Structure 1
Amino acid sequence: MKIYLIRHGQTDWNIQGKIQGTHDIPLNDTGRRQAGQLAEGMDSRLVSHIFSSPLSRAMETAKEISKRQGVEIGLLPQLKEVEFGKWEGLTWEEIQERYPKEFAHWQINPAVAAPPGGETRAEIISRCKWSINEILRVTGGREDAAVVSHGATVAYLVSCMVSDQDEETIIPGNASITTIYYNPLTEDFRLMENNDTSHLSH
């Protein structure tokens, strides 16, 4: 089966460089246009299932695919964006200025450190692995699926499936498609295409 990992379209906070995390920021006009172009790009990638984060920027994107392919959306709260706690709404520069000690600790040991009120790397990986197992359960590991989520979460999903991919180096672009092939016989995952945005008119 093929798993199409999709990042939502652009938001105003994306432009401003603000950490969105679990804040429910909607798509902007560009993001809505990107979602439509993404849905067209998915015409050659027909799916039997669509899974989405419940945050509106992901749901708006998923709905465009749903409308074109006639496939209902299944909500998976575990596909939400990484929770950054008190850092949400700030730029990376503002975070370093306001939380220098916490930021330094988080950079040095992200596996156990977390932003104030946010998630650790171990917690993120745990829910990403749960999401992958749930997707395989629902699809039987044989029916193609679109999975609409967020930049950091998509990166973690890829790194959980394809062990030689580092989540810190594979943050995908807005409205991008990353294709993973899953072999149900060997239970192996293979990265087929990473961060495809060829369907977008830049």
Structure 2
Amino acid sequence: MEVYLIRHTQVAVDKSICYGQSDVPLAETFARDALALEQKLKQQINDLHSAKILSSPALRCKQLAEYLGQEIEYHPDLLELNFGQWEMQAWKDLPPEEVNPWMEDFVHLRPPGGENFVELQARTARVFDALPQLEQSPVVIIAHAGVIRSMICKAIGLPLSNAFQIEIDYGSVSKLVCRWGLWNVKFLNL
């Protein structure tokens, strides 16, 4: 089984803003970015329309999914980390007594009203663990950096505390392959 993990294209939100599950618009470069991504995928998948497409329901993923495919399954479990009260706030304006401990242990600590990385992985695992039962391959998953990092960690047994050592660029493609029940990373960040 081949699984292509795609991060949505660039967003029209300043990098200094904390956003996770908030719906944010895509950058004005979307048409160009989506075309470049489609070309990357077509180099990997002979018939892109034969792929099963799963997507986060966030608008930034949904728009890309609709650009790439005909039939799409939307899964709320593929939403980005819920930052709770921090959503759409400037990182610099967040209370350091909340942010600093979270940055030290994002795996277990939650932003106020949000979720931690263990909880994110638990919900993304519901989608990931069902992949081998799908009769259709390849599978394209359009999601967010946190979700993709979580799935890669799960696939290869990497501790969640190391998740942010994996760079996941906007509009990038990463490939996982499952053979004989074992997952391998074929490539990252194409």
What TM-score do the two structures reach when normalised by structure 2?
Answer: 0.89
Candidates 151, 168, 171, aligned match of 2:164: 168
Q: Report how far residue 153 of structure 1 moved.
A: 1.4
Work out the percentage of aligned pairs sharing the same amino acid: 25
Contact 2:16 2:92 in 1 (8 A): no
Aligned in 2, Cα 1:50/1:106: closer, same or farther, shift over 3 Å? same
Q: Deviations over 1:26-68 (max 9, x none)?
A: 21211332112211221132352000000110011111211xx
Q: Report how far residue 90 of structure 1 moved.
A: 2.5
Name the Cα RMSD after superposition: 1.7
1:189: which partner in 2?
183
1:77: which partner in 2?
76
In the alignment of these two chains, the number of paired residues is 184
Structure 1 CA distance, aligned partners of 2:108 and 2:157?
20
Q: Deviations over 1:92-141 (max 9, x none)?
A: 3333xxx211112212332321001110122111012111023333x24x
Q: Report how far residue 169 of structure 1 moved.
A: 1.1
Return the letter of the residue paired with 1:113. Answer: L
1:121: which partner in 2?
117
Return the letter of the residue paired with 1:89. Answer: M
Within 5 Å, give how 1:71-110 maps onto structure 2.
71-95=70-94, 99-110=95-106
Structure 2 CA distance, aligned partners of 1:91 and 1:85?
13
Q: Report how far residue 174 of structure 1 moved.
A: 0.6
Runs of 4+ in 1 over 4 A off after TM superposition: none
Aligned in 2, Cα 1:152/1:57: closer, same or farther, shift over 3 Å? same
Question: What secondary structure does 2:188 align onto?
Answer: strand
Structure 2 CA distance, aligned partners of 1:9 and 1:126?
25
What TM-score do the two structures reach when normalised by structure 1?
Answer: 0.84
| Greater mean deviation of Cα atoms: 18-27 or 74-83 | 18-27
1:51: which partner in 2?
54
Within 5 Å, give how 1:19-38 maps onto structure 2.
19-38=18-37
Return the letter of the residue paired with 1:32. Answer: A
Structure 2 CA distance, aligned partners of 1:107 and 1:29?
31
Contact 1:9 1:35 in 2 (8 A): yes
Unaligned segments of structure 2, at least 5 residues:
none
Return the letter of the residue paired with 1:81. Answer: E
Question: What secondary structure does 2:57 align onto?
Answer: coil
Contact 2:12 2:28 in 1 (8 A): no
Return the letter of the residue paired with 1:41. Answer: K
| Greater mean deviation of Cα atoms: 49-58 or 109-118 | 109-118
2:65: which partner in 1?
62
1:10: which partner in 2?
10
Question: What secondary structure does 1:195 align onto?
Answer: coil
Q: Report how far residue 74 of structure 1 moved.
A: 0.7
| Greater mean deviation of Cα atoms: 86-95 or 143-152 | 86-95
Structure 2 CA distance, aligned partners of 1:100 and 1:5?
33
Unaligned segments of structure 1, at least 5 residues:
197-202
Structure 2 CA distance, aligned partners of 1:155 and 1:112?
16
Question: What secondary structure does 1:179 align onto?
Answer: strand
